[in-house]
């Protein structure tokens, strides 16, 4: 395939590409060059802040979490020492599913793909020595999000940091779990109840916290196109807005704290255009449907993580180039926060060395590339403006299809988004296997690899240690108070009371994650998708 060129030219997501774009291209798409707008002004296509990175750089995060809370805390401190500005916590699979480390279903998974958190004691150790009123923390947690946030708030109070002072984000986006990722616990309706309880509680008590990070990242990792990523993510966001309004919440009481989480893949111009289109589309949808009075309610603020699915186990150092291209696209697209993957993540959890290279990549883009020196550096490009318009229009068409099916929740229950993603992923795989799409090191630029990449080795005793900690915790706590508290959670789940205050009390009494989630399961039940996924 060396030197051979494609016969049909398309973006990574399959949008047709002209040899060159021109003023006529924009005219054909009904885009007027004089109507591109300014950053900081509706519809925010060019960015949500008028001066963008000249005033403040994006938050540089590294997604970290492995083994024990103590080991992860040490990694957090190292990253902060080296210039990282925010933390991003990866939890292990049992924690994501609301299981304690000593649950029989947790065997063999404790601390493997993230940090194990079963109790307030674990959260206390995870955040030891980290000032929760100064460091912004993002937690990738969904079904048990309320419990983990309650633990975080409790640790803040122990530090002398009031709930209104803590700042950060919980992912708390359960709809994409049904669509693409699978770490749900409760049925969809009950899951939406938990999310709106968090909206309601935090709008009054934890006002600096982003109560949801509506995620297109996992949708894209599952194989969607850029258009599907925007459409399905914004359709999910509309479902959350509707659920909150149905709970009699005013749109301006929660919408300013909605945040988004997008993927950034290899197609540089398509990805930058995707972010611009998403901002514009969200502004239009929110303004037209809900007429918010607070301008922030219609601003799409987002975190970006570069595409884990694009990383290759073959020739892993090539991933540094991929990550750099993707990170630069996110910056040119106007992200508020960015995580750069480490080059060894197709092989295992990042080593200290690879995590540092990933952070340095962001710092080089910020300080040396010039991309952060001007607002919307790609704005006005015929090619980028055309892609922005096409992604906007095609995503809107997809959102309208979802609404015709009854909205995101009804469409998920019918498996519509899941099937669309499967079809897109299958098409991409066919393109790679037929060599229509070349991946260096996979079907192009192949070579024998002589050196073995260093891989992080995890301590296999973490699971045993966590089980021992939990046994000691259960022996030392007030068993009667725990039992009464769990009963109150079940009662609140039945009555419809906001569950957050009960969960906050429970974690302070050393109820474990698994016990709190089980109390909710007793009332809400659990969920198995019709497909069995």
Output the 3-class SS for 303-334. Answer: EEEECHHHCCCCCCCHHHHHHHHHHHHHHHHC
Question: Is 492 in the same domain as 353?
Answer: no
Grouping H, G, I as helix, E, B as strand and the rest as coil, residue 10 is strand
The total of structural domains in the chain comes to 2
- To which residue do tokens 């300013």 refer? 256
Question: Is 487 in the same domain as 429?
Answer: no
Residue 9 lies in a domain: no
Q: For position 68, what pLDDT does the model report?
A: 87
Residues of the chain with pLDDT under 70: 1-6, 33-35, 63-64, 450-451, 530-533
Residue 343 lies in a domain: yes
Q: Which residues contact 473 (CB under 8 A, 6 or more apart)?
A: 119, 121, 510, 512
* Residue 112: other Cβ atoms inside 10 A: 17
Question: Is 124 in the same domain as 195?
Answer: yes
Question: The domain spanning residue 173 has which CATH number?
Answer: 3.20.20.240
Helices (H), 32-164: 69-81, 93-96, 120-126, 145-159
- Cβ–Cβ < 8 Å for 47, 388: no
* Residue 456: other Cβ atoms inside 10 A: 17
Domain that holds residue 510: 462-524
Region class of 52: left (phi > 0), else alpha (psi between -120 and 50), else beta:
left
Q: For position 2, what pLDDT does the model report?
A: 47
Residue 428 corresponds to which tokens in the numbers above? 């991409």
Polymer length of the chain: 533
Residue 268 lies in a domain: yes
Residue 271 lies in a domain: yes
Strands (E), 122-229: 136-139, 168-170, 209-210, 212-215
Question: Is 196 in the same domain as 269?
Answer: yes
Q: For position 83, what pLDDT does the model report?
A: 84
- CA–CA separation, 405 vs 414, rounded Å? 9
Question: Is 356 in the same domain as 486?
Answer: no
- Cβ–Cβ < 8 Å for 163, 207: no
DSSP string, 114-129: SB---SHHHHHHHTTT
CA 128 to the chain's CA centroid = 24
Question: Is 392 in the same domain as 470?
Answer: no
Residue 70 lies in a domain: yes
Residue 13 lies in a domain: no
Residue 518 lies in a domain: yes
Grouping H, G, I as helix, E, B as strand and the rest as coil, residue 63 is strand
Long-range contacts of 486-494 (CB under 8 A, 24+ apart): 486/511, 486/515, 486/516, 486/519, 487/519, 489/516, 489/519, 489/520, 490/519, 490/520, 490/522, 490/523, 493/519, 493/520, 493/522, 493/523, 493/524, 494/523
- Cβ–Cβ < 8 Å for 513, 121: no
- CA–CA separation, 426 vs 436, rounded Å? 14
Question: Is 377 in the same domain as 497?
Answer: no
- CA–CA separation, 264 vs 310, rounded Å? 10
Grouping H, G, I as helix, E, B as strand and the rest as coil, residue 168 is strand
Q: For position 4, what pLDDT does the model report?
A: 56
State in Å, rounded, how far the first CA of the chain is from the last one.
38
Q: For position 29, what pLDDT does the model report?
A: 84
- Cβ–Cβ < 8 Å for 68, 43: no
Question: Is 162 in the same domain as 239?
Answer: yes
List residues bridging with 59 in a β-sheet: 337
Residue 14 lies in a domain: no
Question: Is 496 in the same domain as 392?
Answer: no
């Amino acid at each position: 395939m060396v030197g051979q060129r494609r016969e049909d030219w398309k973006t990574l997501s399959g949008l047709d590409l002209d040899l060159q774009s021109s003023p006529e291209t924009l005219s054909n798409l009904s885009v007027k060059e004089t109507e591109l707008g300014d950053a900081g002004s509706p519809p925010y296509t060019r960015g949500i802040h008028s001066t963008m990175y000249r005033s403040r750089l994006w938050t540089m995060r590294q997604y970290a979490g492995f083994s024990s809370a103590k080991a992860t805390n040490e990694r957090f401190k190292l990253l902060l020492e080296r210039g990282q500005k925010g933390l991003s916590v990866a939890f292990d699979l049992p924690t994501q599913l609301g299981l304690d480390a000593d649950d029989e279903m947790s065997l063999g998974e404790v601390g493997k793909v993230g940090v194990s958190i079963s109790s307030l004691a674990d959260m206390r150790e995870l955040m030891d020595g980290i000032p929760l009123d100064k460091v912004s923390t993002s937690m990738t947690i969904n079904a048990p999000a309320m419990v983990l946030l309650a633990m975080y708030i409790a640790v803040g109070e122990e530090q002398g940091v009031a709930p209104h002072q803590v700042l950060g984000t919980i992912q708390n986006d359960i709809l994409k779990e049904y669509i693409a990722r699978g770490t749900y616990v409760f049925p969809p309706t009950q899951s939406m109840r938990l999310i709106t309880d968090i909206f309601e509680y935090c709008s009054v008590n934890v006002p600096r916290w982003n109560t949801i990070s509506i995620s297109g990242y996992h949708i894209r990792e599952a194989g969607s196109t850029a258009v599907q990523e925007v459409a399905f993510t914004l359709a999910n966001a509309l479902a959350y807005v509707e659920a909150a309004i149905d709970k009699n919440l005013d749109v301006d009481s929660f919408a300013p704290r909605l945040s988004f989480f997008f993927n950034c893949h290899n197609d540089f111009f398509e990805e930058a255009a995707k972010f611009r289109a998403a901002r514009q589309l969200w502004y239009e949808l929110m303004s037209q449907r809900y007429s918010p009075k607070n301008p922030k309610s219609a601003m799409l603020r987002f975190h970006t993580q570069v595409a884990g699915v694009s990383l290759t186990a073959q020739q892993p150092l090539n991933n540094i180039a991929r990550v750099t291209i993707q990170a630069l696209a996110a910056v040119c697209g106007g992200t508020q926060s960015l995580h750069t993957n480490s080059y060894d993540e197709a092989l295992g959890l990042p080593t200290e060395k690879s995590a540092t290279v990933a952070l340095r990549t962001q710092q080089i883009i910020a300080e040396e590339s010039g991309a952060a020196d001007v607002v919307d550096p790609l704005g006005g490009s015929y090619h980028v403006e055309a892609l922005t318009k096409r992604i906007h229009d095609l995503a809107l068409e997809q959102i309208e299809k979802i609404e015709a099916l009854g909205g995101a929740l009804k469409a998920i229950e019918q498996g519509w988004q899941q099937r669309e993603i499967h079809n897109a992923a299958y098409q991409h795989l066919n393109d790679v296997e037929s060599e229509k799409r070349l991946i260096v090191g996979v079907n192009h630029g192949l070579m024998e690899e002589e050196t073995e990449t260093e891989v992080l080795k995890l301590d296999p005793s973490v699971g045993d240690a966590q089980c021992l900690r939990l046994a000691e915790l259960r022996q030392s706590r007030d068993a009667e108070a725990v039992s009464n508290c769990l009963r109150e959670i079940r009662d609140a789940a039945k009555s419809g009371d906001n569950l957050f205050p009960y969960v906050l009390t429970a974690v302070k009494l050393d109820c474990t994650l698994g016990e709190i989630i089980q109390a909710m399961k007793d009332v809400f039940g659990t969920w198995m998708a019709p497909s069995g996924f």
